[in-house]
Amino acid sequence: MNEDNLSKRLTLVAEQIPSGSRLADIGSDHAYLPCFALRRGLVSSAIAGEVNEGPFQSAVEQVKKLNYEDKIYVKKGNGLEVISAGEVDVITIAGMGGPLIASILNNGKDKLEGVKRLVLQPNVAANQIRVWLEANDWLLINELILEEDGIIYEILVAERTGPNPYHEQDYQTELLLGPFLMKEKNDAFKKKWTNEVGEWKKILSQFEKAKQTEEVLIKKQDLIERITRVEEVIQ
Both 132 and 35 in one domain: the answer is yes
Both 113 and 204 in one domain: the answer is no
Both 159 and 192 in one domain: the answer is no
Residue 62 falls inside a structural domain: yes
> With contact defined as beta carbons under 8 Å apart, do 204 and 223 qualify?
yes
Both 153 and 115 in one domain: the answer is yes
Residue 178 falls inside a structural domain: no
For residue 110, CA distances in Å to 17, 52, 94, 134 come to: 22, 23, 21, 17
Tell me what pLDDT residue 57 has.
97
Domain around 158: 8-163
Tell me what pLDDT residue 225 has.
94
Both 121 and 45 in one domain: the answer is yes
Tell me what pLDDT residue 5 has.
83
Tell me what pLDDT residue 41 has.
94
> With contact defined as beta carbons under 8 Å apart, do 143 and 111 qualify?
no
Residue 109 belongs to domain with CATH number: 3.40.50.150
Both 127 and 218 in one domain: the answer is no
Query: How many folded domains does the chain comprise?
Result: 2
Burial class (CB in 10 A: 0-12, 13-18, 19+), 141: middle
Contacts (Cβ under 8 Å, ≥6 apart) of 41: 19
> With contact defined as beta carbons under 8 Å apart, do 13 and 92 qualify?
yes
For residue 121, CA distances in Å to 155, 172, 224, 234 come to: 4, 21, 28, 22
| Sequential DSSP letters for 134-195 | HHTT-EEEEEEEEEETTEEEEEEEEESSS-----GGGHHHHHHH-HHHHHH--HHHHHHHHH
Could you tell me whether strands 21-26 and 90-96 are parallel, antiparallel, or unpaired per DSSP bridges? parallel
Residue 173 falls inside a structural domain: no
How far does CA 47 lie from the centroid of its chain?
Answer: 18
**Final residue before a domain boundary, out of 148, 163, 178:** 163
Residue 50 falls inside a structural domain: yes
Both 16 and 108 in one domain: the answer is yes
Tell me what pLDDT residue 208 has.
87
Both 50 and 105 in one domain: the answer is yes
Tell me what pLDDT residue 2 has.
74
What is the DSSP code (8-state) at residue 86?
T
Tell me what pLDDT residue 209 has.
87
What pTM, to 2 d.p., does this model score? 0.95
Contacts (Cβ under 8 Å, ≥6 apart) of 150: none
Both 57 and 147 in one domain: the answer is yes
Question: How would you write the pLDDT of the chain (235 residues) with one tens digit per residue?
Answer: 777 789 999 999 999 999 999 999 999 999 999 999 999 999 999 999 999 999 999 999 999 999 999 999 999 999 999 999 999 999 999 999 999 999 999 999 999 999 999 999 999 999 999 999 999 999 999 999 999 999 999 999 999 998 999 999 999 999 999 999 999 999 999 999 999 999 999 999 998 888 889 998 999 999 999 999 999 999 8
Rg of the Cα atoms in the chain: 19
Q: How many CA atoms lie within 13 A of 95 on its CB side?
A: 14
Residue 117 falls inside a structural domain: yes
Residue 180 falls inside a structural domain: no
Both 112 and 206 in one domain: the answer is no
- Tell me how far apart the alpha carbons of residues 127 and 215 are, in angstroms, rounded to a whole number: 24
Residue 179 falls inside a structural domain: no
Residue 176 falls inside a structural domain: no
Both 126 and 211 in one domain: the answer is no
Both 81 and 147 in one domain: the answer is yes
